[in-house]
Amino acid sequence: MSLTHLQSFVAVAEEGHVGRAARRLHLSQPPLSRHILSLEDELGTPLFERTPRGMRLLPAGTAFLTHARRILAEVDAAVLTVRKAAADVPETN
């Protein structure tokens, strides 16, 4: 499971539509759809109901969304912490 798959999942869950999520992520629809299918395959369950009007989270998707958001927030926090630490370290030359 990659961060890209998690970002793709969250975007589709929030947008409710692959096309809008693809625009948000600056991707085309086919790779985004592959990310979602790959994630569902890895988890062993569908996360979305595909409808003519878009994508609707299934109970498994709703349960996973909280964790995916938390993981992405932790990664963002880690990046900020590392950048802050790097900026605070005086160079030794």
Per-residue model confidence as pLDDT tens digits over 10-54 = 999 999 999 999 999 999 999 999 999 999 999 999 999 999 999
54-90 pLDDT tens trace: 999 999 999 999 999 999 999 999 999 999 998 887 7
89/93 Cα distance (integer angstroms): 12
The contacts of residue 43 (CB under 8 Å, 6+ apart) are: 60, 64
Predicted structure pTM score: 0.87
pLDDT-based confidence at residue 5 (cuts at 50, 70, 90): very high
Contact 52, 18 (CB under 8 A): no
Which pLDDT does position 91 carry in this prediction?
Answer: 65
